[in-house]
């Protein structure tokens, strides 16, 4: 399963020297510990002041609404998610460029979270290999409690500050990598520990939360706040907060893959052809962009050993597979840059792709 970490760490607080990574970054970790001294187990501070924990006046009589009115209320309130993500656009753009730069130099992207936040990270990571043909280790979702927590709640594990760094270390997380620590309420010790560790070792630390910074500060280089407001079901952050988080992760991973050259126009030219649906999509991409028949597209795809990007380059340049691979290695990774270097072009104008999934 793609990048799912199991529980690590102990229930009690550790000194900086005892934490994963030793005394490296002691000042950063100590500063976080000082401001979040009670974030451990039963000593968690009161969270009633947090935006995500406040009651929504619009749903005060939720249990008395007619079903049609209840559904209408949810549909209307979900509009807040788009507004929240749009407000965070500058930080999302900064994160896309920063992550892409590190991945272009051999780094990896890790999502870290507990509960709904962690499951959303695992979901986005799992979608990258089939969509972009990326290696499973490139984007990893690290969930408190591991694979079992995908199906059965194990939120108690989020209270372990030390578990975040331990789970990252178990995956070889290092200074060249990127971490997106996801915590709707911003106070999850598991995530704060991971972000602190990332900062301490010089990795890129990105925080994603649904509360304002003046309510909770998080250790990070880039701070993404998705302010969706109080939930219709008080405190249930799988609702608007979860929706906004998924939208933001969609933007992050897709934007990064675009910057890494895995998209041409709006087509996923690195799609992994692993089933009939994706083979059909690949053949339509070849027909739309290269202007070839479905039969010729199938031949090109076979010659390119399933690589749509190489099949397109071969169609436009007339190169055989070995030469196309060499050209892509020299002038890629993007198809557009490789075509330009060879003086080749795709003859067809891209037609809108069907919206069918």
Domain extents for the chain?
Answer: 26-259, 276-342
Radius of gyration of the chain (CA): 23
Q: What is the pLDDT along the chain (357 residues), one digit of tens a residue?
A: 454 544 333 333 333 333 333 333 344 344 444 445 444 443 345 778 899 999 999 999 999 999 999 999 999 999 999 999 999 999 999 999 999 999 999 999 999 999 999 999 999 999 999 999 999 999 999 999 888 788 877 656 788 899 999 999 999 999 999 999 999 999 999 999 999 999 999 999 999 999 999 999 999 999 999 999 999 999 999 999 999 999 999 999 999 999 999 999 999 999 889 899 999 999 999 999 999 999 999 999 999 999 999 999 999 999 999 999 999 999 988 999 999 999 999 975 444 444 444
**How far apart are alpha carbons 91 and 149 in whole angstroms?**
30
Q: Dig out the tokens for 206 from the structure.
A: 């990105």
> What tokens does 306 get?
């399933």
CA dihedral (159, 162, 164, 166) positive or negative: negative
Which pair of tokens denotes residue 42?
A: 């039963």
- The pLDDT, as a whole number, for residue 152 is 78
Alpha-carbon distance 134 to 124, whole Å? 13
CB 313 within 8 A of CB 339: yes
CA 291 – CA 281 distance, rounded (Å): 14
Q: Which CATH number fits domain 276-342: 3.40.640.10, 1.10.8.1080, 3.20.20.70, 3.30.930.10?
A: 1.10.8.1080
Give the contacts of 90 (CB within 8 A, at least 6 positions apart). Answer: none
The reply to whether 276-342 shares the fold of 26-259 is: no
> CATH number of the domain at 26-259, please?
3.40.50.10490
pTM: 0.83
Catalytic positions, written as ranges:
127, 158
pLDDT at 149: 83
Residue-by-residue DSSP string for 51-116? GGGSPPGGGTTGGGS-HHHHHHHHHHHTHHHHHHHHHTHHHHHHHHHHHHHHHHTT--EEEEESHH
The Cα–Cα gap between 56 and 232 comes to 6
């Amino acid at each position: 399963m793609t990048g799912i970490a199991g529980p690590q760490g102990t229930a009690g607080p550790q000194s900086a020297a005892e934490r994963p990574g030793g005394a490296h970054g002691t000042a950063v970790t100590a500063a976080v510990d000082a401001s979040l001294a009670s974030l451990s187990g039963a000593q968690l501070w009161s969270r009633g002041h947090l935006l995500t924990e406040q009651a929504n006046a619009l749903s005060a009589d939720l249990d008395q609404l007619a079903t049609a009115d209840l559904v209408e209320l949810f549909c209307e309130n979900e509009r807040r998610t788009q507004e929240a993500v749009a407000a965070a656009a500058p930080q999302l753009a900064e994160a896309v460029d920063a992550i892409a730069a590190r991945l272009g130099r051999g780094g990896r992207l890790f999502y870290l979270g507990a509960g709904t936040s962690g499951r959303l990270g695992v979901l986005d990571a799992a979608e990258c290999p089939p969509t972009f043909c990326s290696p499973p280790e490139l984007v990893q979702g690290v969930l408190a409690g591991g694979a079992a927590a995908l199906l059965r709640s194990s939120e108690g594990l989020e209270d372990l500050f030390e578990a975040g760094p331990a789970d990252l270390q178990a995956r070889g997380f290092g200074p060249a990598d990127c971490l997106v620590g996801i915590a709707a309420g911003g106070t999850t010790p598991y995530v704060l520990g991971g972000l602190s560790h990332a900062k301490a070792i010089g990795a890129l630390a990105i925080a994603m939360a649904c509360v304002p910074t003046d309510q909770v500060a998080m250790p990070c280089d880039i701070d993404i706040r998705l302010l969706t407001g109080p939930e219709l079901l008080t405190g249930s952050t799988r609702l608007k907060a979860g929706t906004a988080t998924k939208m933001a992760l969609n933007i992050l991973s897709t934007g990064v893959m675009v910057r890494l050259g895995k998209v041409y126009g709006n087509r996923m030219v690195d799609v992994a052809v692993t089933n009939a649906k994706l083979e059909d999509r690949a053949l339509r991409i070849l027909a739309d962009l290269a202007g070839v028949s479905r039969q010729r597209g199938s031949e090109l795809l076979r010659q390119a050993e399933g690589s749509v990007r190489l099949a397109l380059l071969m169609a436009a340049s007339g190169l055989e597979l070995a030469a196309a691979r060499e050209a892509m290695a020299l002038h890629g990774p993007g198809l557009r840059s490789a075509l330009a270097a060879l003086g080749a072009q795709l003859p067809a104008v891209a037609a809108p792709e069907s919206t069918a999934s």
